[in-house]
Amino acid sequence: MSLDQDVSIGALAESTAGMSGAEIEFICRKARMCAISECIAKESVGIDPMTVEFMVNGGHFEEAIRLISSR
């Protein structure tokens, strides 16, 4: 899993302060799944997902954090 340049490990640490290891693992897995879904969606517009560089970006982490925070 590659991280995009817009991912700040420091900001992620601040956003996940007080969370359990299981919650942080969920966030990482969910962010990765968001990135995979985004790559697969490119197929619908004629782009072969196998030719796209797979990267997890800050938006993927933000979405995952939002999901766990709403629980």
Q: Distance between CA 42 and CA 21 in Å, rounded?
A: 32
- Number of domains present in the structure of the chain: 1
pLDDT tens column, 11-61? 999 999 999 999 999 999 999 999 999 888 888 888 887 777 789 999 999
pTM: 0.86
CATH of the domain at 39: 1.10.8.60
pLDDT tier for residue 5 given thresholds of 50, 70 and 90: very high
More confident call, 71 vs 66 = 66
Which residue, 8, 11, 55, 52, is CA-closest to 31?
55
Instruction: Show the domain range for 60.
Output: 2-69
